Amino acid sequence: MAKTSEKYEVMFIINPNLSEEEIAALVDKFKTLIEQNGTLDEIEEMGKRKLAYKINYISEGYYVLIKFTSAPSFPAELDRIFRITDGIMRSLITVRYE
């Protein structure tokens, strides 16, 4: 029997050169997208942190961690949207085992 929902977490890094309003808008965009396609369990804005290595000559990023529950088909679409969104430097979606 196929699972109807699965627990996930996504960590994404926003370009820190954006304004506070632009960063807040991006966080809100993905929060809303997740709520429309599943259940938002937890959101943690970690703020600006130094990257392990430079990405496009940028050495810092604004980190956000969101834990959510959704249908197994949603993370692929979420990943696609992360890839085409300006201001998102990196993202990683993983399954949570609790």
- pLDDT, tens only, 57-88: 999 999 999 999 999 999 999 999 999 999 99
* Number of folded domains that form the chain: 1
Bridge-based pairing state of the strands 58-70 and 6-14: antiparallel
CATH number for the domain that contains residue 63:
3.30.70.60
Residue 56, SS3 per DSSP: coil
Show the domain range for 33. Answer: 6-95
Residue 50 lies in a domain: yes
Residue 63 lies in a domain: yes
Residue 90 lies in a domain: yes
Sequence-distant (≥ 6) Cβ neighbours of residue 98 within 8 angstroms: 7
Residue 65 lies in a domain: yes
Q: Which residue from 96, 93, 94, 87 is spatially nearest to 14, judged by alpha carbons?
A: 87
pLDDT band at 3 (very low <50, low <70, confident <90, very high): low
The pTM (predicted TM-score) of the whole model is: 0.93
Residue 1 lies in a domain: no
